[in-house]
Amino acid sequence: MVRYRHALLASVLLALPAPVVSQQPYNDWAKAYAAAEDLVGTWTRDQVANVSVYGGTAPGHVPFTAKDGPMGVNGGRGVSGWIAAQTLAASWDPELVEKQYGAMAREFRSKGYSMQLGPVTGPMGRSALGGRNFESFGSDPYLGGKLFGTAVRGIQNQSVIACGKHFIANEQETNRTTVGWGQDTDGTDRSSSNLDDRTFHELYIWPWVDGVVNGLGSVMCVMNRVNGTGGCENDYTLNQVLKKEVGFKGIVIPDATAPINRTAALAHGLDWNSGLDASAITALMDSGAVPEEVMRQHAIRIVATQLNHNLPQEQYPDPATVVNRNVREAESAPLTRAAAGQSIVLLKNTDQTLPLKNVTSISVFGLDAAQGVTGPAMVPNVFDYQGDTYAGHLASGGGSGATPMPYLVDPLTALTERAASGRGFEVRHIASDNYTVLPTGGPNIGGGPPDSVSGYASDSQYCMVFLNALAKEGVDRLALADETEDRLVNDVARYCANTIVVMNNAGIRLVEAWIEHPNVTAVLNAGALGQESGHAITDVLFGDVNPSGKLVYTIAKRVEDYNGEICPCCDCDYTEGLYTDYRHFDQAGIEPRFEFGYGLSYTNFTFGSLAISKKPSDNEPLAAYASGPTVDGGPAALFDELVTLTATVTNTGPVAGAAVAQLYLEFPESAKSPVQQLRGFRKVLLEPGQTQTVAFELQRRDVSIWDTVAQKWKVEAGTYTARLGGSSRDVAAEVEFELSTTGV
């Protein structure tokens, strides 16, 4: 079988002109399209049809090889266990994101895959209960877009096509599809995401623009419907917006079971793998149901995308021959450990409990502290609800977006390693969420503490309680906290004056049941940290890493404080519009427990005043609407830099640390926009006493709203207020500037 595959490959490549092969990847869409048009122009109708079929070949064309998932080679052996995107996003570090996804893509390439089904920018976190929020880069379109675009660049720089998921408005698992594999229905039993045009553009399309700007090669259309029409046969979303308005040049491929009406899908923007075979597609061309020119355009897109981003396909190994090959690089462990450490958010640190100093004894509590009965990877499951928590250390979410874990360092193991080093310290543990609190037997004849939560806790210098929150594909979450875990925290804190809580959560985890307990002196929001999870956590606990993570969502006081509910079958009206996450909390005047962008450090930072170093002249009003030819991302003028603001950041504390300077923008009242929106961030590493100037360049896009009447991006004339600080509610400086416009 393998010999046949390579013989076929060689024969097909003979038909491909040598210059075409040698130039790959082109990294130039215009040249790639010109070559693709020349090649496809030589094909018959049957050959054109065959190229749009999974695994289909044609003279001079060998199909790409695609593989899930967004967190690594799904189910792969000899690959790395990467950090979940939502967790990595808390680093607010594009360079770190690019490194992880570049290294990840090299593993895909070494395993024979020329397309990675990832990264993810949908769901956007409309609902805090969304089952797959952990797969994407947080709940803000600006931050998510910058990191999504960076991930795309990291992948495609390794000659692997990035396939962005899931386009578009895929915000819940409930009734995303109720179709069995390979079946077909009229789609009315699938959830329809019903949203207005402005919300569609300013929230949900926004991060996809960043992907396209960075050369995104592929987009995966969704199982759910969008405004009543199936996501893979939606002419408006796929053709009118994605391909024409945004200028996407790559290919659209379907999520599993996504095409409802396969003919409509091919006619309305789906380029590849409709589920129909080549003879059926040729028959559609014969009947005129799908015009031949449409199918030729699909073929051109497929070929051009491969020419632009891939090496010649024969330079990727046959996946079947490398299943057991270890392709992890030597840098995998240190990279994941360092990235995980930078992604941990310090939520509370009373009286500088952390970093730990002069440790003599630690007691560890909770199932999350140690590995589960089976592991290290979760059992793959994309259908069933498996609980609000995971019975072991959680380092990944579940489903097709799960991390392929080759090994897992849990916190108890990492603490034990430290305890065994030098003179060390004593570590005791109760790896249970529901252990007896008070001793039931007589005194411990060995002289140690009674075998109970109270016994261990009262006899320890420090206590650590490890909690988790599970989320996965196929189902949405039922709760944002767990009573058993919360009770454990309070039981430990009742007897231990220094109780440290560490949360490994695939999504938002509420803390209200214990956050104000005086003996809960430190809290880490650690997320899903991948293979080096335990090491990264202990690096922060002991001060080897100064935490610099910032929340990429809002932690509320009550679940009722969130909007964006999970909708039952089958119409889901996005009545909240633009007001999701912190936008909602700001607009509704709700005080969060921890706001978007929040995170503490072991040092302190101050921000200087904001200064405007560049803005359009008041004597030369801007054109109100973005114009120019459509480039990657939209009208060319949309990416003109209009305003530059600068400020200083100073480390006023005792140790080196990284500050994340965040810029929020308030639009003129006439724009009817949210109270403020993130429009810039800079992460800077500073030594004690060091000052650095940061600059924020605002593009026309950043100061525009979507005009639903004109169907264009518009700059609203008036006063804009820029705010600088360490979170969405920590304002250290602000400045106003005026933008004047002409009517066109």
Contacts of residues 272-275 at CB distance under 8 Å and 24 or more positions apart, as own/partner, are 272/52, 272/54, 272/298, 272/302, 273/52, 273/53, 273/54, 274/52, 275/182
Pick the closest to residue 703 from 737, 660, 726 (CA basis). 737
DSSP states of 675-736 as a string?
S-EEEEEEEEEE-TT-EEEEEEEEEGGGGEEEETTTTEEEEPPEEEEEEEEEETTEEEEEEE
- List the beta bridge partners of residue 742: 623
CA neighbours closer than 13 Å in the CB half-sphere of residue 142: 21
Using CA atoms, how far residue 390 sits from 265, 483, 671, 696, in Å, is: 39, 14, 45, 41
Provide long-range contacts, Cβ within 8 A and 24+ apart, for 614-620.
614/641, 614/642, 614/643, 614/644, 615/642, 615/643, 615/644, 615/737, 615/739, 616/642, 616/643, 616/739, 616/740, 618/738, 618/740
255 is catalytic: yes
Could you give the CA distance from residue 111 to residue 109 in angstroms, rounded to a whole number? 5
457 within 8 A of 363, measured Cβ to Cβ: yes
Nearest to 603 by CA among 547, 661, 522, 663: 547
Residue 631 pairs in a beta bridge with 634
Q: Is 53 helix (H, G, I), strand (E, B) or coil?
A: coil
Residue 229 phi, psi dihedral angles, 5° rounding:
-115, 140
Distances (CA, A) of 266 to 42, 52, 145, 189: 21, 9, 28, 22
Peptide bond just before 259 cis, omega within 30 deg: no
C-alpha atoms less than 13 angstroms from C-alpha of 676 in its C-beta half-sphere: 23
**Marked catalytic residue, from 140, 210, 255, 561:** 255
Catalytic residues: 255
